[in-house]
Amino acid sequence: MYQGIRISGFGGQGIISAGILLAQAGMIENKHVSWFPAYGAEMRGGTANCSVVVSSDEVASPIVARPDTVIVMNEPSLAKFEPMLKPGGLLIINSSLVNSKPQRSDIRVAYVTCNKIAEEIGTTKIANMVALGAFMGLTGALGVEAISKALPKVFKRAKPELLELNVQALKKGAETKIS
């Protein structure tokens, strides 16, 4: 099993944190992982993306040039990362913020109202967790349980009630179906 993932959005959406959580969850499931962040100098509000690899075999490179899955959390990310997606790959779109439609017909697309779902749970700060839940539910690459276990390791100072909201967001996102 090999899953190369690109997650992209703007600074402040938890893009880098989402990548760290995927890598940590992969380690919890005894998989080989890599995580490689990239973000603009301005951080919050600037662009941010990261490459994550989760594999049953050793990871040769942390760079994911042709991802199996792309998660786009904002409009500019769709234009930038859709062309990189492998044919047959999965594109997860935060349809709360992305109005454009993909140009390609050789990929699977899941439209997820990440911000709306997160707001219904209690805070839009967990929209990234909704997207991760969708990824896990649609690919089966990692289990929601592994991410749930990774949350307190990554967010050591988070209050238990916020961690619980994150778990709720993961579970709600995991219910996503291909559109």
Indicate the pTM of the whole model: 0.94
pLDDT tens digits, one per residue of 115-145: 999 999 999 999 999 999 999 999 999 998 8
Q: In what order do the strands lie in the sheet with 90-94?
A: 32-39, 47-55, 2-10, 69-72, 90-94, 108-112
Residue with tokens 């579970």: 171
Q: Give the up-direction half-sphere exposure of residue 176: CA atoms within 13 A in the CB hemisphere.
A: 33
Parse the chain into domains and list their residue ranges: 2-173
Domain at 2-173, CATH class: alpha beta
Which amino acid, 89? G
pLDDT tens for each residue of 145-178: 899 999 999 999 999 999 999 999 999 999 998 8
